Amino acid sequence: MTTFVLLVFGLVYVGMVLGGLPFLQLDRTGVALLGAIAVVAGGALTVEEAARAVHLPTVLLLFAFMIMSAQMQLGGFYDWVTLRVAGLNVSPPLLLAVLIAAVGLLSAVFSNDVVCLAVAPVLVQACLRRGLNPLPFALALACAANIGSAATLIGNPQNMLIGQSLAMSFVGYAVDAALPVLLGLALTWALVVLGARGHWQLEQRSGVVPQEGMTQPLQPLQRWQTAKGLGVALAVLLAFLFSPWPHEVVALVGAGLLLLSRRLHSSRVLGLVDWQLLVLFVGLFVVNAALERTGEPARWVAAAAAHGVQLEQPSTLFAAVFVLSNLVSNVPAVMLLLPVAQHPMAGTLLALVSTFAGNLFIVGSIANIIVVDAARRQGVVIGWRQHAALGIPVTLCTLAMVAVYLWWRIGG
């Protein structure tokens, strides 16, 4: 049975690396789901054991915040903010600073992927109308969304998983993450400005291949729906800060209140939930539980320790998070490394490094892919070279800063 589980696990994580399996029409979600089905069908786990393997509080928290983000999207809030920012009569570097600040703040509360999905097409359209090169603004959007989402334990899926699994303090983590996130956003702005010198205007754009674009219809601002969404989100955050209630219960109550609407049909709201991501979580929970049951991970950690590689040590864990996040994506990487997250600062390290590492390449995070796809639909093609020209320096500089910060916090 151990050999069978190792085979399934290996195939699943090959799928995470490749984004699917060769010769099959499967994405990462499909691979994870089939892996879960295989370990149950093969007898490695019973159906009841597979159900217990799913960390339900994390899945429920993620689902609830998807509902809140859907409310803001349908209420036109994201389009309104993007148009207000893009319409500012300021210089391109200052406009970029406002964009990065706004995106970073929104991503800390409403999830980086959702923010990029809503903001990217409107931003690219606005840049083209103003005669601005959309490339630096689109790339800054992706980087700022990733970095800003690390500010809280609800900013992205991996942070929700870390916070729920390690029972981390919402306030405590936010205090720990505030300085590196702010510095990371500032570094992103500086690197984009440095790379965009002389290429702010549309006619001077470099590396952008124009195509026939498709205009994205704007969602008009509905003040009541937006106010309702913001009010519920604020109430949820205050409950996280000042109440002992379980976070997933508070978030679900908030989501339930938003579904009580006379104008927005629940099917529209639920239609914006990322069901694929939820299924990915479920599949990986089951596959990882089957592997854990074999006892192999404990033997691997012991073997590594015997060769001087202490995964529990912050420096080793830092390197492992960075490498795995770029091999299999940040959520699978975090799931693999959570069992060795034993240092008091391990949760903060996992959250910051796995999130910041996502800026390295386009495939490093879903937010990057969303921005690139949205830009392409508007007639602006962003290749991997254009992304890497910013993504690599942003990742290396911000992670170097995080390393220094963690070294200082841990005590040198």
Per-residue tens of pLDDT for the chain, all 412 residues: 889 999 998 898 888 878 788 888 888 889 999 999 999 999 999 999 999 999 899 899 989 999 999 999 899 999 999 999 988 989 999 999 999 999 999 999 988 888 888 899 899 988 988 889 999 999 999 999 999 999 999 998 899 999 999 999 999 999 999 999 999 999 999 999 998 887 788 765 444 545 554 555 677 888 999 999 999 999 999 999 888 899 999 999 999 999 998 888 999 999 988 898 899 889 989 998 998 888 888 787 778 777 777 878 899 999 999 988 888 778 888 888 888 888 899 999 999 999 999 898 887 788 888 888 888 888 888 888 888 889 999 999 999 999 999 999 887 5
Question: Could you tell me the pTM of the whole model?
Answer: 0.85
What is the reported pLDDT for 220?
84
What is the reported pLDDT for 370?
85
What is the reported pLDDT for 379?
82
Write the secondary structure of the chain as one string of H (helix), E (strand) and C (coil).
Answer: CHHHHHHHHHHHHHHHHHCCCCCCCCCHHHHHHHHHHHHHHCCCCCHHHHHHHCCHHHHHHHHHHHHHHHHHHHCCHHHHHHHHHHCCCCCHHHHHHHHHHHHHHHHHHHCHHHHHHHHHHHHHHHHHHHCECHHHHHHHHHHHHHHHHCCCCCCCHHHHHHHHHCCCCHHHHHHHHHHHHHHHHHHHHHHHHHHHCCCCEHHHCCCCEECCCCCCCCCCCCHHHHHHHHHHHHHHHHHHHHCCCCHHHHHHHHHHHHHCCCCCCHHHHHHCCCHHHHHHHHHHHHHHHHHHHHCHHHHHHHHHHHCCCCCCCHHHHHHHHHHHHHHHCHHHHHHHHHHHCCCCCHHHHHHHHHHHHHHCCHHHCHHHHHHHHHHHHCCEECCHHHHHHHHHHHHHHHHHHHHHHHHHHHCC
